[in-house]
Chains A and B, each alone.
Chain A
Amino acid sequence: MNENKLVHWFKYASPQSFYPLAGKMIPWFWALTAVFGIAGLWISFFVAPTDAQQGEGYRIIFIHVPTSWMSMFIYIVLACWAGLGLALNTRLSGMMAQALAPTGALMAFLSLWTGAFWGKPMWGTWWVWDARLTSELILLFLYLGFIALQAAIDDPRRADKAGAILALVGVVNVPIIYFSVKWWNTLHQGSSVSMTKSPSMATTMLWGMLLMALCFWMYSIAVALMRVRAIILEREAHTEWVKLLDEVKS
């Protein structure tokens, strides 16, 4: 009786039942990406006014902030999956962590890239070794280290465990990035949006940024679900259920 309940609870934790579920969810997340993206870009370029200090150059904020947020958020989600995998030994957890890593690395890269393209006209330099920028660069290296470590270990289950430990140790970097602008004197400006104060920016700018953030969020879910499906097939290639899939039979 109890065992049955447990099986039911973990139903979607099995790659076999998650594979079709993910397939059904992907188009919805792409649709949301498009809706939020179009609305966000419209506000970013046509509704939000020119900034008094930075002119049109400030519009980089509409992708810089969302990519930076996502790079940190994806890392936390990745570490949660990794920790879950270590604690419960569920197979899907490791696959989810593996599916999130490249997207997180891409977000960290885009955050640094757009930051450089914003820093050059405003600060006069593409890069400085300041606390915020350096800790974000370390985040990119953590993602790359996680990917490389997993790729270097042949047994996927052992790769999951090694990667999980790296991911969990690396979590310490996320609050360092977030609070770096408070803890140290940096060139980087403070947060534009905080959880305790009302935002220090025009409402339309804030809306543009939030819509773009939602767009990147939905994008990340969609592409991670696509990747986890490929990982499931790669790892479960020997199983009967994979051989019975319609897309394999035809």
Chain B
Amino acid sequence: MNWGSPAEFFAMGGYALYVWGSFGVCAVALVMEPILVSKRQSGVLKSLRRAKLADELDEENK
């Protein structure tokens, strides 16, 4: 174990800005990307369902 206390861990031996600046941005990016992709997926599904509903209403009104 490299760290005596949580404070020591977060200080990263004086390199806190650089270590957490790297890991932090990576973490944010890797969380955001799947969220955006699943939003895209549910958006497509929504418009597909809407198109299907429109088709069904067209059929009824014929």
Contact = CB atoms under 8 A, between A and B. Distances in A.
Interface of A: 45-46, 49-50, 55-57, 59-60, 63-64, 67, 102-103, 106, 109-110, 113-114, 117-118, 120-121, 219, 222-223, 226-227, 229-230, 233-234, 237, 242-243, 247-249
Nearest to A109: B29
Interface in B6-31: 9, 12-15, 17-19, 21-23, 25-26, 29-30
A102 B18 CA distance: 25
A117 B52 contact: no
Given A67-B26, A110-B25, A118-B22, A230 B37 contact: yes
A120 B18 contact: yes
A223 B37 contact: yes
Which residue of A55, A59, A243, A249 has the most chain B CB atoms within 10 A of its CB atom? A59
Contact of B44 (A60, A67, A219, A230): A230
A248 B49 contact: yes
Interface of B is mostly: helix
Contacts of A57: 12-15, 18-19
A113 B38 contact: no
Contacts, number: 93
Interface of A is mostly: helix
Contact of B40 (A46, A109, A227): A227
Contacts of A121: 15, 18
B60 interface: no
Given A59-B19, A230-B40, A230-B41, A110 B26 contact: yes
A166 B44 CA distance: 28
A63 B22 contact: yes
B22 A243 contact: no
B38 A226 contact: yes
Given A60-B22, A243-B52, A223 B34 contact: yes
B41 A233 contact: yes
B9 A45 contact: yes
Contact of A233 (B12, B21, B25, B44): B44
B61 interface: no
B20 to A, nearest CB: 9
Given A117-B22, A227-B37, A110 B48 contact: no
